[in-house]
Amino acid sequence: MALQFFLTKDPALLAQYFELRNRVFRRHYPGLAPGFGDEEETDHRSHIVVGHDSRVVAGGRITISFPHKPQPMPMEEAGFRLSEAVPQFGLKYSPYAEFSRVAVDPACAQGRRCGVGLIRELAHSAAIFGVDLVFSMCPFPMVRMNESNSRICRVEFQAFPDIVIPNPFGLHMILCAYTRLITADCRPLKLTA
């Protein structure tokens, strides 16, 4: 079966995604609390994208806030407020989202196909929901990769290294913004192996 990326609500696929992200996050951040990455309340108010190749090998979560139905982003759980940190985006007036709990099975992480495919599907799914602006947070070493993946997906990317985001990882996490998702989604993209 070929690697495919798609939104899912299938309980069996979601269980595989939760197990994968628990394993990946615990591997990369051993100081996290036991059970970090397990299913949580935010998953129920978000959309889940998985990468599937006879099993779930990648996944990520999209949490959306609309002006008529605002909701906090996962990165705001510890008191951080996006609207105060990046007022230039006028978050009260447009929909925006956060990509979070992104995980790729280490056995599939070689090369860029899985990571780029996942980001592409996350961006495509956000655009389908009418979202043109998405935030995420990542450790400094991942910023360059996220920027490169964004360029491949024709999405604009900005990093805000001076903004401090409280988080459970015990690291300085960089706030990232992906913009022009809807425009990028209108252009065909060809992934190479």
The tokens of 13 are what? Answer: 């696929």
For 34, phi and psi rounded to 5 degrees?
A: -55, 140
Rounded to an integer, the average pLDDT of 139-164 is: 91
Q: What is the pLDDT of residues 80-103, one digit of tens each?
A: 999 999 999 999 999 999 999 999
pLDDT number for residue 65: 97
For 53, phi and psi rounded to 5 degrees?
A: -145, 75
Q: What is the pTM of this model?
A: 0.91
The tokens of 136 are what? Answer: 């995420």
For 91, phi and psi rounded to 5 degrees?
A: -65, -15
Q: What is the pLDDT of residues 15-59, one digit of tens each?
A: 999 999 999 998 888 888 888 889 999 999 999 999 999 999 999
| Domains of the chain, residue spans | 4-185
Q: b/e for 133-168, b at 16 or more Cβ within 10 A?
A: bbbbbbeeebeeebbebbebbbbebebeeebebebe
Domain 4-185, second-level architecture: 3-Layer(aba) Sandwich (3.40)
Rounded to an integer, the average pLDDT of 150-174 is: 92
Percent of the chain residues topping a pLDDT of 70: 95
106 sits in the region (left: phi over 0; alpha: psi -120 to 50; else beta) called: alpha
Residue type, 114: C
Cα–Cα–Cα angle for 69, 58, 73, rounded to 5 degrees? 25
